[in-house]
Amino acid sequence: MFTSVAPFGSRAGSRDQFVDLDVPAWAWLALAGLIGLMLAADLFRHRDDHEPSPREALTESLVWVAFGLAFAGVIALAFGGKATTEYLSGYVIEKSLSVDNVFVWAMLFATFKIPLKYQHRVLFWGIFGALALRGVFIWAGTALISKFWWVLLVFGALLIVTGLKILKHRNDEGEKEHTAGLGLLRRVMPVSDELDGHKFLTRINGKRAATPLLAALVVVELTDVIFAVDSVPAILAVSNEPFLVFASNAFAIMGLRAMYFLLANAKEKFHFLSHALGIILVYVGIKMSISHWFHIDTLVSLAVIVSLLGLAMWASLKFPKVFGADEDDDDPAAHAGHAHG
């Protein structure tokens, strides 16, 4: 174990065996500027409403992953190898746990009957809220852990319980968020049942009302609150450095839209992924719970997570799930593609 020494400087005596970086304000501003530039470029590329093809979704997913890995190179040059391992571990955890977001989004869009060509717009604006929310969660989480070590036990228990729940997926996952989000929005303004192009707001009898696009956006943000409760503590199990945790979160989240269009209808094809995600959460929960007394090297955790994901994907392809007609009819997510039209 070693503490990285970089041009920006690192403080010796890494807390809980994690790297402890001295990140200057301009580095945070540079990261925010880079994120803003990438989002602006993505918005310009999707300025016209269109249905992304599988090839386009795959290309964009690879580009976003390339950006995330390229930033790992920046971390390596600035802060050293240990910081890079923590960043990559956080990135892989967030990326893998985001698979659940993708499948829930597919069900939500099917429920709201949002055409495929408008779904990118909803997800794009949802990214801003997600980034702000993750920033608050990360700041609060790292502050609590630095002052009260027993918070690790609370976060660890939360991850273990959540992991066990994920191992028992429900077909109605996301319906509670849909009902709560729609009810919340209707307290503020009327909600139209009809789309008005790609607009979030419309007028009904001269009064301003929300379109199904805005309703879907509110529910997407609500589901992100729920997922952030799981994913942020999970990343804090492999790094306590706010800069690394936020950067890994941001780069993983920004690629979520492309991953959604790539995987939205692949829930049943990779049916063992939910089991892998549950096991990953249980593992990082245990790691976090015992970290005050025993530290599991982050490189080991990265290897465990990647191996579990790879094994789940291999097993899903090797042992495809067989469905009956009735089972498919009961699963809203299975029909997400039919609502895209």
Report d(CA 136, CA 123) in Å as an integer: 20
Neighbours of 32 (CB within 10 A): 14
∠290-296-300 over CA atoms, to 5°? 145
Report d(CA 16, CA 12) in Å as an integer: 12
**What's the whole-model pTM score?**
0.74
* SS3 annotation, 3-31: CCCCCCCECCCCHHHCCCECCCHHHHHHH
Cα–Cα distances (Å) from 25 to 31, 102, 204, in that order, read: 10, 34, 47
Report d(CA 91, CA 65) in Å as an integer: 10
pLDDT computed for residue 77 by the predictor: 94
Question: Do 10 and 86 contact (CB within 8 A), yes or no?
Answer: no
- pLDDT band for position 206 (cuts 50, 70, 90): confident
Residue 10, strand partner residues: 21
pLDDT digits (tens, 9 = 90+) for 164-177: 877 776 555 555 55
DSSP E strands: which ranges in the chain?
201-204, 207-210
Total length of the chain: 341
**DSSP element (H, E) containing 162:** helix 151-166
Q: Tell me the two tokens of residue 162.
A: 């959540």
- pLDDT band for position 288 (cuts 50, 70, 90): confident
Q: Choose from 18-32, 165-179, 291-305 the range with maximum mean pLDDT.
A: 18-32
**Mean pLDDT over each residue of the chain, to the nearest integer:** 78
Compute the average pLDDT of residues 171-195: 66
Instruction: List the one residue out of 88, 79, 111, 92 whose CA is nearest residue 4.
Output: 79
Instruction: List the one residue out of 19, 13, 95 whose CA is nearest residue 297.
Output: 19
Q: Tell me the two tokens of residue 127.
A: 């990214």
Q: How do the domains of the chain map onto residue ranges?
A: 15-340
Compute the average pLDDT of residues 23-43: 91
pLDDT digits (tens, 9 = 90+) for 237-262: 888 899 999 999 999 988 888 888 87
Q: Which residue has the tokens 């408008």?
A: 118
Instruction: List the one residue out of 244, 234, 245 whose CA is nearest residue 277.
Output: 234
| Percent of the chain residues topping a pLDDT of 90 | 15
Residue 159, strand partner residues: none
pLDDT digits (tens, 9 = 90+) for 91-126: 998 888 877 777 778 777 877 788 888 888 888 888
Report d(CA 315, CA 239) in Å as an integer: 30
